[in-house]
Structure 1
Amino acid sequence: KKDSKTFREAVKAIFRFSDIQLARAEKNELLRAYADNKKYEKACQKLDEGFEDAFQYTVVGKGHSRLNSTNLIERLNQEIRRREKIIRIFPNIASANRLIGAILIDIHEEWLSSPRKYIQF
């Protein structure tokens, strides 16, 4: 952490881009500048390996613009918990998986036929 403020600011700047091409160019520039420094070697390697995964939200036309919050996921988890509390103790893992799978299939079918714009697929 000592004397790494410029490196940290450069990494943060990469994540402010909304265009993946610009972000790639900036990442490559950062790697050229810091890859030779042993102090930043590991960080540069991690940035290079995980860059494409971290920037999937910038891929035009493939992003999930409707999913702007985690409310759907939280509601899904609440529904699963509500139904599992009724049973309380499952005889084995397979029975728990069957119940949760049935709940997920049911909700997935509801989402597919939903008129709500934010959950249409």
Structure 2
Amino acid sequence: GFDDAIQYMNEPDKYHPFIHSTNHLERLNEEVRRRESVIRIFPNTQSAFRLLAAYLMEYAETKQQQRALLKN
């Protein structure tokens, strides 16, 4: 409820812009589910983890490039 929604306010102000919303996490989950639905059946757990790791590495690289552009 409301208490959960404002929980981020217990953190220092400098962190508020980064944690006030879970939209980026929801977007990540949505993208993983989209890629997962293309494959449908994984041969084993490791292959599912590899897909997840590959996407997260791609996402991290993209975010790092975006931050670099903002700094310049």
Say which of 12, 18, 26 aligns to 1:66: 18
What letter is aligned with 2:19?
Answer: L
Q: Deviations over 1:99-120 (max 9, x none)?
A: 0100000011111111587xx9
* 3-state secondary structure, aligned to 1:94: helix
Correspondence 1:93 to 2:45:
yes
Alpha-carbon shift at residue 93 of structure 1 (Å): 0.3
CA distance in 1, matches of 2:60, 2:49: 16
**Larger helix share, 1 or 2:** 2
| TM-score, normalisation: structure 1 | 0.44
Question: Structure 1: any 5+ residue segments left out of the alignment?
Answer: 1-17, 19-54
RMSD between aligned residues: 2.7
Which string of whole-angstrom CA distances, capped at 9 and with x for unpartnered residues, describes residues 37-91 of structure 1? xxxxxxxxxxxxxxxxxx5x13x65x35333201000000000000000000000
Q: Give the count of matched residue pairs.
A: 63
TM-score, normalisation: structure 2: 0.71
Question: Match for residue 56 of structure 2?
Answer: 104
**Can you give the 5+ residue segments of structure 2 that lack an aligned partner in the other structure?**
1-8
For residues 1-121 of structure 1, the aligned pairs below 5 Å read 55=10, 57-58=11-12, 61=14, 63=15, 65-114=17-66
Secondary structure class of the residue paired with 1:91? coil
Name which one, 1 or 2, has greater alpha-carbon Rg.
1
Amino acid at match of 1:89: I
